[in-house]
Amino acid sequence: MNCWINSLSLDRRIEWMKTSQNRITNVLTSRGNTNRTYPNYANRTKYFLNDSISILSISRINLNDTGVYVCEVLVEIPGPVYRKFGNGTHLQVHVIKNSATSSNVSITDSTRWVLISCISAITLIVPVTTFFLARKLMKKDEPVYVNVKYRNKAGQNCRPTEQRNVKYTTSSNCGDVKTVN
C-alpha cells in the first residue's frame, strides 16, 4: 500500500492504521529512523519510507486483515500540529474453498492414471517376455544332418555323416557295405 507525502519537514510521524467494523487498529508508526510494528502485524510487515512516499506491505494475510488501511502524516514541529490522511486502501481477504482440495484431487487422479497405465503395461510385458524366453530355452533334439554331397541318383546317402560311438552301414546301392565304429 502506498502513501504519497507532500511535506518538506523531516520531523514528521507516519502512522498506518486499519479500520474495520468501526474499530481502529494500529499497524505501524514511523518517526525518523524508528519504526514500531504493533503485535498483530509483527514479523509480517515490510516498510519503506523516503521523502515523498511511504510503502507498507503485509505478508501472510488472513481474514482478520480485511479492512481499510489509512496512512496518516503528522507534522508536529513547528506547532500547531499539521495532520493529513488519505482515503485509504481497501483490502478484502477471501478464503477460496476447495481450491487446494481440487488441485490435490487432480494430482491424485493423474497419479492414479499413470499408476494404472504402468500396471497394465507390466501385466502385458511380463507374460509376453516369459513366453519368448521359454521358447528360446526349450531344448530341442539335435538335428540329424545328412551329407547331401554324396547322395546317389536314387537319393540314398553313399557316404554317411560320421558320428562317434555309433555303428552304421552304408547302403548297398553305393558299393560295398562297410561298418564303421
Q: What is the pLDDT of residues 133-164, one digit of tens each?
A: 777 777 665 655 555 555 556 656 555 555 55
Q: H or E stretch including 83? A: strand 82-85
Q: H or E stretch including 106? A: helix 99-137
Return the minimum-mean-pLDDT range out of 82-91, 105-114, 165-174.
165-174
CATH class for the domain made up of 2-91? mainly beta
Q: Residue 127: is the preceding peptide bond cis (ω within 30°)?
A: no
3 state DSSP class of 96? coil
Q: Indicate whether 69 pLDDT > 80.
A: yes
Closest C-alpha among 142, 168, 146 to residue 156:
146
Share of the chain above pLDDT 90, in %: 7
* Separation between Cα atoms, residue 18 and residue 63, nearest integer Å: 13
According to DSSP, residue 22 is labeled T
Residue position matching grid coordinates 523531516: 10
Q: Indicate whether 1 pLDDT > 70.
A: yes
Q: Indicate whether 98 pLDDT > 60.
A: yes
Domains of the chain, residue spans: 2-91, 98-140
Tell me how far the alpha carbon of residue 50 is from its chain's centroid.
42
Query: What is residue 111's predicted lDDT score, i.e. its pLDDT?
Result: 82
Share of the chain above pLDDT 70, in %: 69
Mean pLDDT calculated for residue range 84-106: 73
What band does 107 get if pLDDT is binned at 50, 70 and 90? low
CB-side exposure of 41: number of CA atoms within 13 Å? Answer: 22
